[in-house]
């Protein structure tokens, strides 16, 4: 048996007979010849390949870490911006709600402003209260429809 060992190429054949080649930018013929003189050369070449692969992986992992860090920073910024916008929207909703409540109270107050409310007057069953209130309303200048509406409540 000879000390020469022949290495396999970096390609394979799939089921359809197509040649599949690995994409390895760092492999050159000068660095890794097809034939090695002895097992020591083969071991050295394998170590070199492993080291280069590890270096390439470390570079890619560092690039991924940098990308992840950038994404995390962007996520934190977006979360902060969304929080600020939610706070602004919440404040505006509260402001609109308060304004709406004030408007409803103003409308209710205006509705009651034109009404004459008489309560707590003792009366007897024989008295004609509608006629009594109609006389008071006429003297005060209230028109008949409002007076009738108030009596039906």
User: Which tens digits make up the pLDDT trace of 70-110?
Assistant: 999 999 999 999 999 999 999 999 999 999 999 999 888 88
Q: Is the pLDDT of residue 2 over 60?
A: no
**Which of the four pLDDT bands, split at 50, 70 and 90, describes residue 22?**
low
Q: What is the mean pLDDT of residues 117-141?
A: 76
Q: Positive or negative CA dihedral for 134, 136, 142, 147?
A: negative
Structure tokens at 104: 């409803």
Looking at residue 5, its pLDDT comes to 47
* Residue 31 near residue 48 (C-beta atoms within 8 A): yes
Q: Are 68 and 33 in contact (CB under 8 A)?
A: no
Q: List, in order, residues 6 or more apart from 8 with CB less than 8 Å away.
A: none
The pLDDT value given to residue 152: 47
Task: Calculate helix-pair angle for 129-140, 144-151, nearest 10 degrees.
Answer: 140
| pLDDT of 145 strictly over 50 | yes
Helices (H) and strands (E) in the chain, counts: 3, 4
**CA gap 94, 104 in Å, rounded:** 15
Query: Where in the chain are the domains?
Result: 21-113, 116-153
138 or 65: which leads in pLDDT:
65
Q: What is the pLDDT of residues 31-83, one digit of tens each?
A: 555 676 788 888 888 899 999 999 999 999 999 999 999 999 999 999 999 99
């Amino acid at each position: 048996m000879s000390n020469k060992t022949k290495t396999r190429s970096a390609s394979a054949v799939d089921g359809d007979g197509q040649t599949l080649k690995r994409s390895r930018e760092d492999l050159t013929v000068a660095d890794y010849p097809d034939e090695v003189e002895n097992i020591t050369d083969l071991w050295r070449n394998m170590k070199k390949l492993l080291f280069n692969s590890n270096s390439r992986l470390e570079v890619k992992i560092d690039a991924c870490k940098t990308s992840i860090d950038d994404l995390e920073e962007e996520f934190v910024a977006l979360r902060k911006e969304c929080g600020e916008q939610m706070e602004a929207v919440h404040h505006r909703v509260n402001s609109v709600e308060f304004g709406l409540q004030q408007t409803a109270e103003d409308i209710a107050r205006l509705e009651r402003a034109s009404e004459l409310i008489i309560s707590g007057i003792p009366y007897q069953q024989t008295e004609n209260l509608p006629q009594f209130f109609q006389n008071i309303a006429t003297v005060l200048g209230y028109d008949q429809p409002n007076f009738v509406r108030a009596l039906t409540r």
